[in-house]
Structure 1
Amino acid sequence: MSEALLVLTRPLHVLRYNTREILKTAAQYASRAVYIHVTNDELHSPVPQNDSLRRFLVSIYGESSKYKLDVRFLLHNVGISPPQSITLGYGQYETLLTDSNESQTVAKYAKEHILQAASALNVIKLELNTQVEPEKEEVFKTYDNVCLGGTFDRLHAGHKILLSYGAMQAKKGIIVGVSDECLTKKKVLKELIVPMERRMADVNEFLKDVRPSIKRDLRQLSDPFGPAITESDLDAIVVSDETKTGGDAINQKRREKNLSILDISIVDLVKDEIREEENEEEKISSSSCRRRLLGTLLKPPVKSEGKPYVIGLTGSMASGKSSVCKRLKGLGAHIVDCDKLGHKAYLPGTETIELIRKRFGDDVIAKDGTVDRKQLGAKVFADKQSLEDLNKIVWPAIQKLAQEEIKTSDKDIVVLDAAVLLEANWHENTHEVWVVIIPQEEAVKRIVDRNKITEEQAIMRLEKQMSNAKRIEHANVVLSTLWEPSVTQRQVEKAWSLLQQRYNK
């Protein structure tokens, strides 16, 4: 993994015109992170706090979404004299790119003031189009203390712009509210949201990296207002176009508490240039980012050796697991249906039947030698220990049948379709775990329609199962059947294609 530093000295309106070329070139030399340091030919002068700077910052972050790079626009010298030394969060940078004609002078400056330059620093001269009409310059307002809030799930360009606006406008400190589960419970694919502690750490690390001179105060946000309606020394709040009404509501609350009214600074939304589905949001959003994770490898496979390659597929009731299995079968996988194997394990004359008779009594066995499910159910569902005892009898029998089927399969990839994959620890014998999820509200609707039971009964059944969040802890790949069948098909095809790449390495 490699990092690059850009030291740019041209006027800001010229740099903005060349944004695409700047990042395209930087991406050729960096595989992980790109830092952008804007200055002038004097190198040690402050950068003015004007609209040209904000427009260039928005342009850089908007364009950066096309690249799998963590781009960071340094604000150490914006409106203030630059510090004697700058430390970059990612550590050593191997390449320096600059638009200055005095590239060696810039290299000397970088080595002395922007720490962690590689000993053999690769210096690249950027050729930019400088025939650009100047822009009208207006200085933007700054404040002692600024606040803002958000979920900040997997920092993307929109988050970075919001945080950077706040950091540029704050002279002393910034309060950032980070949404907790109370505010994220209705978000799309909430199970894939990064834990709050990590989100707070990511925000803190980003602000420390780009603007270390201001005080950072991160707060857990359990309601839409948070510290914005309790802190008396706040001067401004930074919001986006779509959350301006939230800023107005905060000021109304402050009026009621006889607190000063906050100036509202509005950040433009950034268009998403890499939308994968038509029904994704047009702006860059965490919801779209989470959707793009579906079908991808979230963590390395449990194991990589042995044939056939076994995928353990699981999901809650009505999650659409069977639909995913059919699609995988159509792509060439062998499906081991553990529900069917469960019925096979209960056949008359099997060892399972005798063990059940011994544990639960003759009355649970019908005259034809099959299990009387009604009698057995009355015993096990009323007593937790009895249910555990039944599982200890049945699960090993199903697992044995499944392993026999896997061994005799002539397919390279086998899918072990099992609702209790994780509860029975069958995932320990798979290469990867794939989990199919849908929101509980959608699952309830499907169960009510399919099983003709009440919502309360459907909810009770779901609450007895392992939660989506718990399943995802084990997941290598997550899929969702929440949207149209065509979307599910594309997800499965994406997951299958990526699996083929891993399997054929």
Structure 2
Amino acid sequence: MADLPSLLLLPPPPHPPSRLALNATYEPPLKAALSRLKSEKGGKDGAVLIVAVASPILKGQFLRHKSLSWPHAQSILADLYSIISVICAELSIPTDLHAGPGSVDARVVFIDHDLSKPVAADLKPAIKPNNTVIVDLATFTAAYHPWKYIFHTNNEPGYQLLSTYLKLLEGIQTLKQSQLVVVDGGLAVSLGPQSPSELPSQTSPHSVVCLGGTFDHLHPGHKLLLTAAVLLLKVPDKDTSDPCKFVIGITGDELLKRKKYAEFVQPWDERATNTIEFLASILELSKDGWKGGQSLQVSRENDELVALFRNDTIEVRCVVIQDAYGPTITTENMDALVVSGETRSGGNAVNEKRKELGWRQLETFEVDVLDAEGIVHKSADTQSFATKISSTAIRKLKAESHT
């Protein structure tokens, strides 16, 4: 990241987190931040915006025994990436990685933080990871910095969150007033406290999670899939010799030669490197933040790219896939497979094949697809936003700009 990334601090989602309620709460601040960054053009790669949602998303009293409801978390992620995609379609903002001046690469992360609980006056930002990939506000502050801008919402929860965050940021980054940008807070919709029956059930995490795709011109659909998948990881203690593993099958170049606008398909190495770079914004925790660029531990093993994060407790392995199954039928030791509505049938085929091999079937988790349903201010542009942000659409635009 040549240009510093910016931060948009978002208070907790409304309750219940329906698409309409999320849109009313989050569309105004997202639109303001995305518009501002687009107008500044950014560096040669465009702008990066970390959209941080602060919410008590983890359960568990002890630091190393946290859990979350995956269906609840992935649903909010899907809604946020859908809202971002609709805004970017309306404003003609490219959203893929390294898309050039005027583009905004928005990345959503969760921060485990409860606004209703007072923060200890002597709390110091320090990196204290738990057994999930989601961290608390003090750890986020210690590892994510410095920022170009910090956008915050113009409402009570927004100022409360900003106040706590700025106290933690003291001594880490000195900000000019112009770097703090207030944005419309939207409508805070909440229908009273949750009853116990409404509380989402917790999801068992897994040591080996698998996912497949092309990951060409990494866009919001890819970002959603990758982020939702890493939320399933069971992160071990730093003293372990056996990290949790995220295995990503990335379609080989040979299989993509018949794609539309195939000459603009990124080579496998670029797609794998971009995937790892994106995941670093969720997984990497360094007290130096991104000063001087993130020094990722990436190595090549045969035809695979391997990256290690968080004191070698998380291993990301990008594997070339030449068929519909990839590593799921060559590696027995896997626990979970993440699919989207579009790849559900592939997940079923994988489990059928594993059954034939006498291997245990993978637990399958389905991520919601991006859609504009329930999003207000819909126009003809937003109806087709999903096609606008697809890898094919991005390649088509590149082909047209070269003619």
Common fold: TM-score over 0.5 = yes
Which one-letter code corresponds to 2:396 in the other structure?
A: R
| Equivalent in the alignment of 1:25 | 32
Which one-letter code corresponds to 2:369 in the other structure?
A: L
Q: Per-residue deviation at 1:42?
A: 12
Relative to structure 1, is the Cα distance of residues 188 and 248 closer, same or farther in structure 2, using a 3 angstrom cutoff? same
Aligned mates of 1:33, 1:293 — CA distance in 2: 20
The Cα offsets for residues 332-356 of structure 1, whole Å up to 9 and x where unpaired, read as xxxxxxxxxxxxxxxxxxxxxxxxx
Q: Structure 2 residue aligned with 1:217, among 282, 299, 317?
A: 317
| 235-244 or 139-148, which deviates more | 139-148
RMSD over aligned Cα atoms: 3.6
1:85-484 alignment runs, 5 A limit: 86-88=142-144, 92-98=147-153, 99-102=157-160, 103-110=162-169, 118=175, 121-124=179-182, 126-133=184-191, 136-138=198-200, 139-171=202-234, 172-212=244-284, 213=310, 214-271=314-371, 284-296=389-401, 477-478=402-403
Q: Normalising by the residue count of structure 2, what TM-score does the alignment of the two structures yield?
A: 0.63
Which one-letter code corresponds to 2:54 in the other structure?
A: T
| Equivalent in the alignment of 1:34 | 49
Which one-letter code corresponds to 1:33 in the other structure?
A: V
Relative to structure 1, is the Cα distance of residues 41 and 60 closer, same or farther in structure 2, using a 3 angstrom cutoff? closer
Which one-letter code corresponds to 1:264 in the other structure?
A: T
In 1, are the aligned partners of 2:74 and 2:367 still within 8 Å (CA)? no
Relative to structure 1, is the Cα distance of residues 84 and 75 closer, same or farther in structure 2, using a 3 angstrom cutoff? closer
Relative to structure 1, is the Cα distance of residues 128 and 197 closer, same or farther in structure 2, using a 3 angstrom cutoff? same
Aligned mates of 2:382, 2:55 — CA distance in 1: 42
Relative to structure 1, is the Cα distance of residues 250 and 96 closer, same or farther in structure 2, using a 3 angstrom cutoff? same
Aligned mates of 2:371, 2:57 — CA distance in 1: 35
Q: Per-residue deviation at 1:85?
A: 5.2
| 1-10 or 20-29, which deviates more | 1-10
Aligned mates of 2:259, 2:245 — CA distance in 1: 30
Higher RCO (Cα < 8 Å, 6 or more apart): 2
| Equivalent in the alignment of 1:53 | 73
- What is the count of residue pairs matched by the alignment? 295
Three-state SS of the structure 1 residue aligned to 2:323 is coil
Aligned mates of 1:123, 1:111 — CA distance in 2: 18
The reply to whether residue 70 of structure 1 matches residue 128 of structure 2 is: no
Aligned mates of 1:101, 1:277 — CA distance in 2: 31
Aligned mates of 1:277, 1:39 — CA distance in 2: 27
Runs (5+) with no aligned partner, structure 2: 39-46, 94-103, 113-131, 235-243, 285-309, 373-377
The reply to whether residue 6 of structure 1 matches residue 69 of structure 2 is: no
Which one-letter code corresponds to 1:194 in the other structure?
A: Q
Three-state SS of the structure 2 residue aligned to 1:259 is coil
Q: Per-residue deviation at 1:41?
A: 8.6
Aligned mates of 1:194, 1:237 — CA distance in 2: 25
In 2, are the aligned partners of 1:50 and 1:137 still within 8 Å (CA)? no
Q: Per-residue deviation at 1:286?
A: 1.0
In 2, are the aligned partners of 1:3 and 1:95 still within 8 Å (CA)? no
Aligned mates of 2:383, 2:27 — CA distance in 1: 25
Q: Per-residue deviation at 1:268?
A: 2.0
Comparing both structures, which one devotes a greater share of its residues to helix? 1
Which one-letter code corresponds to 2:397 in the other structure?
A: R
Relative to structure 1, is the Cα distance of residues 50 and 95 closer, same or farther in structure 2, using a 3 angstrom cutoff? same
Which one-letter code corresponds to 1:58 in the other structure?
A: A
In 2, are the aligned partners of 1:100 and 1:106 still within 8 Å (CA)? no
Q: Per-residue deviation at 1:240?
A: 1.1
Alignment identity in percent?
26
Q: Per-residue deviation at 1:106?
A: 2.2
| 181-190 or 28-37, which deviates more | 28-37
Which one-letter code corresponds to 1:97 in the other structure?
A: H
Aligned mates of 2:320, 2:175 — CA distance in 1: 38
The Cα offsets for residues 51-103 of structure 1, whole Å up to 9 and x where unpaired, read as 443222112211222323211112465675533755459x6332242443323
Q: Normalising by the residue count of structure 1, what TM-score does the alignment of the two structures yield?
A: 0.51
Q: Per-residue deviation at 1:178?
A: 1.0
Runs (5+) with no aligned partner, structure 1: 297-476, 479-505
Relative to structure 1, is the Cα distance of residues 41 and 25 closer, same or farther in structure 2, using a 3 angstrom cutoff? farther
Which one-letter code corresponds to 2:106 in the other structure?
A: V
Q: Per-residue deviation at 1:7?
A: 2.4
Aligned mates of 2:336, 2:71 — CA distance in 1: 18
Q: Per-residue deviation at 1:110?
A: 4.2
Three-state SS of the structure 2 residue aligned to 1:295 is helix
Aligned mates of 1:233, 1:179 — CA distance in 2: 21
